[in-house]
Amino acid sequence: MTRNARPFLEKLQDAVARSGSLLCVGLDPDLSRIPARFRSADDPIAAFNRYIIEQTAPFAAAFKPNFAFYEVLGQAGLQALAATIAAIPPEVPVILDAKRGDIGSTAEAYARAAFEVWEADALTVNPYLGLEALSPFLKYGDRGLFVLCLTSNPGAAEFQTRAPLGEPLFLQVAQRVAAGTPPSVGLVVGATHAEHLARIRATAPDRWFLVPGVGAQGGDLAMTLANGLDAGGSGLLIAASRSILYADDPAQAARALHTAIAEGRKPGAEWSLHEHLALALADCEAVRFGEFRLKSGKLSPIYIDLRVLASYPEVLSQVASVYAQLLAGLTYDRLAAIPYAAMPIGTAVSLLTGKPMVYPRREVKEYGTRRSIEGLYEPGETVVVLDDLATTGASKIEVAQALEAEGVRITDMVVLIDREQGAAADLARAGYTLHSAFRLTELLDILTKHGRITAEQRAQVLAYLEADRS
């Protein structure tokens, strides 16, 4: 069998079924790090790669050589790449990681190199020049492409999460790929941004995602699987390179990751984004349990302080993603964050969604502009009110009425946690709909399930809530 005699998707699906794996082993050899016993070989890189392939093939659904690690070695490196691809069993897909993307004849040359010279089954490509630049690659209709969507490096936030056109750039890329390319075109989505995977999966439900960042980069595998698996429990290729290549026992490292992926694919094993966020809120002590005296003088067994999110940017990013999901079903022009706890949240949500934000002042200054609302808006616009918590609804109604007095329209309010103490009903009577990421009982259930609080603590909080309602 020649290496690319079968269509990429067919070969990939067969490889996944045969191996029971979603593991993609990255072949990114660094000559300075490979074991000494391979360095005396005529072609040390090829010898090392053959060893890695033999050790990991039983656990791999695909192999991914990164072109840069071969190109940097000149002619010898390109020879090593050819030998490496030849060593990969022909029934296992080869994804050439080269991140190509250019115009016209240049892109045509890149496509010929990837699919005719190197005989890759799939190629990573860059969408920066627009989908037009992918046309030469798409002419090889039986081959696969993985379009850079949300990459695993920290600097990805410079451009990819910005929202100049109303939605973050990574989501616009996912939308264009899902709507305008054949099924053989997937997306590159880093596991280091697993909190965004649910939105990308919802946008591209049937596409394969190539997911780097698990392993040496510290991506969260459980969260990646929870948010990225498709409806059939597949659709992800979890790429790992250094954590396998330079392990003392590469076979054992590949087997361990294969097993962890398999466990995460089992029905009931998945964690939702909400579960991860609930645990993160407990870890950063935004939700605390004990005995706390409230402003009212009452003693409470639970204390929720979401102001601390300003000091935990990763958790704040997850919070913003959850708000963005709630907002996705609403029609609105602007956000209005209630000071003070919702201000960091509102800012993060505004940056993620690209929607402008205003906020009502608690006290109107007697100097300067004397504005009661900071930020720009137009009468007649629809505004969604954001807050951190909902208890009774009274303060939110007061804010909404102040905003409405300035001529804007409000029908919806979004919070992270509904304390289930009457806010939803109060707001509904006033003509507003409350949307929450968590009901407090739901949050308690998650924390109990994962052992962060005991069943007795949960019961104590529920009893307190019931007494407070009566």
CATH of the domain at 368: 3.40.50.2020
Is the domain of 109 the same as that of 196?
A: yes
Closest CA to 123 of 155, 149, 148: 148
| Residue range 19-25: mean pLDDT, rounded | 94
pLDDT digits (tens, 9 = 90+) for 177-209: 999 899 999 999 988 777 778 888 888 989 999
Lookup: tokens for 167? 């939605």
Q: How many CA atoms lie within 13 A of 150 on its CB side?
A: 25
Could you give the CA distance from residue 223 to residue 283 in angstroms, rounded to a whole number? 16
Lookup: tokens for 174? 């996912």
**Residue 414 one-letter amino acid:** V
Contact yes or no for 190/213 (Cβ under 8 A): yes
Which of 265, 283, 311 represents a domain boundary (last residue)? 265
Which residue of the set 99, 139, 266, 365 is catalytic? 99
Could you give the CA distance from residue 387 to residue 403 in angstroms, rounded to a whole number? 14
pTM here? 0.68
Residues forming a β-bridge with 150: 189
Q: Strands, E, within 61-152: which ranges?
A: 62-65, 95-100, 122-125, 144-150
CATH of the domain at 68: 3.20.20.70
pLDDT digits (tens, 9 = 90+) for 253-294: 999 999 998 888 876 554 566 777 888 899 899 999 998 887
Give me the percent of the chain exceeding a pLDDT of 90. Answer: 57
Is the domain of 246 the same as that of 388?
A: no
The range of the structural domain enclosing residue 372 comes to: 275-469
* 109 burial level (CB within 10 Å; 0-12, 13-18, 19+): middle
Whether 390 is in a domain gets the answer yes
Averaged pLDDT of the chain: 88
Residue 99 annotated among the catalytic residues of the structure: yes
pLDDT score of 370: 60
Is the domain of 70 the same as that of 99?
A: yes
Q: Residue 213: phi, psi to the nearest 5?
A: 105, -10
Lookup: tokens for 344? 């960091």
Is the domain of 113 the same as that of 183?
A: yes
Contact yes or no for 113/70 (Cβ under 8 A): no
| Residue range 448-459: mean pLDDT, rounded | 90
Which position has the token pair 């030469």?
136
Lookup: tokens for 273? 């984004």
How many domains would you assign to the chain? 2
Whether 341 is in a domain gets the answer yes
Roughly what angle, to the nearest 10 degrees, separates helices 273-283 and 221-228?
Answer: 150
Whether 42 is in a domain gets the answer yes
Which of 240, 265, 290 represents a domain boundary (last residue)? 265
pLDDT score of 368: 47
Whether 224 is in a domain gets the answer yes
Could you give the CA distance from residue 211 to residue 467 in angstroms, rounded to a whole number? 48
pLDDT score of 250: 94
pLDDT digits (tens, 9 = 90+) for 305-327: 999 999 988 788 888 888 988 88
| Residue range 227-239: mean pLDDT, rounded | 89
Is the domain of 259 the same as that of 279?
A: no
